[in-house]
Amino acid sequence: MGTNASTEPLRAARLGETPGEIPLEGREVVREAVWALSRQARDRVWIAAPRLDLRIFGDPRLESTLSAFLRAHRRARVRVLVQDARALARVDHPLLRLSQRLSSRMAIRRQSEDFAGFHETWLLADEAGLMRMPHPDRYTATAWFSAAQELRELSGEFEIMWVSAVLDPDLRRLGV
């Protein structure tokens, strides 16, 4: 994807440093935000999504970035929460394959029925970065690269969802 005005703030943003919110409009810009936050992480990338939209989370740059992140940083962890595990396995999602290859550092779980009403998409990066998409089908979101307080709140909510999440057998199946 070439540089354009809508992605320029993302290219200049630095995790833990760049203040303020960055409004995101459109699939390509949201995909760029996911990649920008993920590539700057050093400890954790946590994703909560009703489904891992291939047009955003199937980006080969993201798979490569997360693979390098998990291999390069000893404490690095990726956690992903989804609602529809079967659909994720059916499309042979790149992040599912990555989680199967690096299962000691990356896990994907199905959200508990207790959180069936959760329909947002979140990406939390380290202790500072955040992307929040209230309506994933609209590709409108907001990113923050220095939002420690907001991130603490959402990290607590994510932890609650993670602890109650299910290890779905559809997510453990290895391809032949």
The tens digit of pLDDT for each residue in 67-88 reads 999 999 889 999 999 998 888 8
> Is 67 domain-assigned?
yes
> Is 130 domain-assigned?
yes
The tens digit of pLDDT for each residue in 121-152 reads 999 999 999 999 999 899 999 999 999 999 99
CATH code for position 92: 3.30.870.10
**Cβ-based neighbours of 60, under 8 Å, separated by 6 or more:** 94
Do residues 71 and 101 make contact, with C-beta atoms less than 8 angstroms apart? no
Beta-bridged to residue 49, according to DSSP, are 82
Domains: count for the chain = 1
The terminus-to-terminus CA distance of the chain in angstroms comes to 33
> Is 13 domain-assigned?
no
Cα distances (Å, whole numbers) of residue 53 to 13, 91, 159, 166:
24, 10, 22, 20
Segments forming the whole domain that contains residue 142: 22-166
> Is 126 domain-assigned?
yes
